[in-house]
């Protein structure tokens, strides 16, 4: 049985009805955390229930919680309800994110705003509520050395420009500086805030990039380690950042990308 590094801790994982969020939710639950499997809409309830069922099948605990993270009142309500039901929140995984790709000269304001409101404003709203609760509660030494932990799901595109995805890349660049700024602001309060920057991970968000052997071969040209990542690769990193094993890690982005950020185009060029 896995060591229960997050015993008695409560974790909210946003966007946990699919992809990376679902994998992270399961890993935190397996480590003993009670996990709030957040999902955005009625249409995603069934998928969130599948994540929760997998958690329970492994002996874990949690609930599903519908909340569109881009809506201020909904986010406040989610935190208030979770705190009423479980006493506090110890870990926030700011994971919810999406893409609405378009050539820049054709990108609509709606596409721009939708991506920024979920990916960046959503992380702001959730982080703010989490920090308010961490400050209120402070450190509980039996649970963790920190007063709270936030993990922001960023992307290699916080540093790699991406044509046709300016809204998405801008949201991830924004996450990087929000994360570092609040990590600096709240480190004296023993709140740890870090990001994970996944590379290409096999999930629905990038399905077309790996679904056929041809697409996968093309994608692997960008990945020196020569395999597409899995949600388990990211979940392991999230568990480490949420646990006291990373107690001295604050304000950093952990790239989990098989070397995608190593400029692979330069390996036989330049
Ligand atoms: C994007 C994926 C993409 C990956 C690597 C991620 O942040 O969501 O669609 O495959 O970055 O480019």
Is the pLDDT at 30 greater than 60, yes or no?
yes
Listed residue (21, 65, 77, 76) closest to 40, CA to CA: 65
CATH T-level fold of 10-256 = Rossmann fold (3.40.50)
Counting Cβ atoms within 10 Å, is residue 150 exposed (0-12), middle (13-18) or buried (19+)? buried
Distance CA(268)–CA(172), nearest Å, equals: 29
Return the best residue to mutate from 119, 176, 201 for the ligand 1 pocket (most ligand atoms within 8 A of CB): 201
Q: Which atom of ligand 1 has the smallest separation from the CA of 257?
A: 5
Distance CA(220)–CA(225), nearest Å, equals: 8
Which two structure tokens, joined as six digits, stand for 221? Answer: 């040209």
pLDDT tens readout for residues 205-241: 999 999 999 999 999 999 999 999 999 999 999 999 9
pLDDT tens readout for residues 70-125: 999 999 999 999 999 999 999 999 999 999 999 999 999 999 999 999 999 999 99
- If you measure from the C-alpha of residue 204 to the centroid of ligand 1, how many angstroms do you get, rounded to a whole number? 11
Q: Which residues of 168-185 are buried (b: 16+ CB within 10 A; e: fewer)?
A: bbbbbbbbbebbbebbee
**What would the mean pLDDT of 257-269 be, rounded to a whole number?**
96
3-class secondary-structure state, position 30: helix
Distance CA(263)–CA(158), nearest Å, equals: 14
Residue 197: band (very low, low, confident or very high) from pLDDT cuts 50, 70, 90: very high
Count Cβ atoms below 10 Å from residue 164 Cβ, excluding itself. 14
Q: Give the pTM.
A: 0.98
Distance CA(235)–CA(20), nearest Å, equals: 7
Ligand 1 atom 5 nearest Cα = 200
**Average of per-residue pLDDT values in the chain:** 98
Phi, psi of 109 (to 5 degrees): -60, -35
- Check pocket membership of 199 for ligand 1, CB cut-off 6 A: yes
Residue 3: band (very low, low, confident or very high) from pLDDT cuts 50, 70, 90: low
Is the pLDDT at 1 greater than 70, yes or no?
no
- Check pocket membership of 258 for ligand 1, CB cut-off 6 A: no
Phi, psi of 211 (to 5 degrees): -70, -30
- Check pocket membership of 205 for ligand 1, CB cut-off 6 A: yes
- The percentage of the chain sitting over the pLDDT mark of 70, rounded to a whole number, equals 99
Phi, psi of 222 (to 5 degrees): -95, 0
- If you measure from the C-alpha of residue 212 to the centroid of ligand 1, how many angstroms do you get, rounded to a whole number? 16
148-153 sheet: strands from edge to edge: 61-66, 34-39, 10-13, 91-94, 148-153, 191-198, 253-256
Looking at residue 232, its pLDDT comes to 98
3-class secondary-structure state, position 181: helix
Listed residue (93, 96, 123) closest to 9, CA to CA: 93
- If you measure from the C-alpha of residue 157 to the centroid of ligand 1, how many angstroms do you get, rounded to a whole number? 7
Looking at residue 41, its pLDDT comes to 97
Measured in whole angstroms, the distance separating CA 18 from the mean position of its chain's CA atoms is 12
Ligand 1 atom 7 nearest Cα = 155
- If you measure from the C-alpha of residue 168 to the centroid of ligand 1, how many angstroms do you get, rounded to a whole number? 9
Is the pLDDT at 40 greater than 70, yes or no?
yes
Which two structure tokens, joined as six digits, stand for 31? Answer: 């480590």
Q: Which residues are catalytic?
A: 168
Note the maximum CA span of the chain.
58
Return the best residue to mutate from 15, 95, 156, 175 for the ligand 1 pocket (most ligand atoms within 8 A of CB): 156
**What would the mean pLDDT of 162-185 be, rounded to a whole number?**
99
**What's the Cα-to-Cα distance from 156 to each of 89, 122, 126, 139, 261, rounded to whole Å?**
28, 19, 22, 32, 7
Query: In angstroms, how far is the first alpha carbon of the chain from the final one?
Result: 49
Is 94:127 a contact under the CB 8 Å cutoff? yes
- If you measure from the C-alpha of residue 3 to the centroid of ligand 1, how many angstroms do you get, rounded to a whole number? 31
- Check pocket membership of 157 for ligand 1, CB cut-off 6 A: yes
Q: Where are the domains of the chain?
A: 10-256
């Amino acid at each position: 049985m896995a060591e229960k590094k997050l015993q008695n801790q409560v974790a909210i994982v946003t966007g946990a009805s699919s992809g990376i969020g679902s994998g992270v939710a399961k890993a935190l639950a397996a480590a003993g955390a009670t996990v709030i499997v957040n999902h955005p809409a009625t249409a995603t309830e069934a998928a969130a229930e599948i994540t929760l069922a997998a958690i329970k099948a492994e002996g874990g605990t949690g609930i599903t919680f519908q909340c569109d993270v881009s809506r201020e009142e909904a986010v406040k309500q989610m935190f208030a309800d979770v705190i009423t039901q479980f006493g506090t929140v110890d870990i926030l995984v700011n994971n919810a994110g999406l893409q609405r790709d378009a050539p820049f000269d054709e990108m609509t304001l709606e596409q721009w705003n939708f991506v920024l409101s979920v990916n960046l404003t959503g992380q702001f709203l959730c982080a703010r509520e989490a920090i308010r609760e961490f400050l209120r509660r402070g450190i509980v030494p039996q649970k963790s050395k920190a007063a709270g932990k936030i993990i922001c799901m960023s992307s290699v595109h916080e540093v790699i420009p991406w044509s046709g995805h300016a809204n998405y890349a801008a949201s991830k660049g924004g996450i990087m500086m929000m994360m570092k700024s609040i990590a600096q602001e709240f480190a004296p309060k023993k709140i740890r805030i870090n990001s994970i920057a996944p590379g290409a991970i096999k999930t629905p968000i990038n399905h077309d990039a790996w679904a056929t052997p041809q697409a996968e071969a093309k994608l692997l040209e960008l990945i020196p380690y020569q395999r597409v990542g899995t949600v388990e690769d990211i979940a392991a990193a999230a568990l480490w950042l949420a646990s006291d094993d990373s107690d001295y890690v604050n304000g950093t982005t952990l790239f989990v990308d098989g070397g995608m950020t190593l400029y692979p185009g330069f390996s036989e060029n330049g």
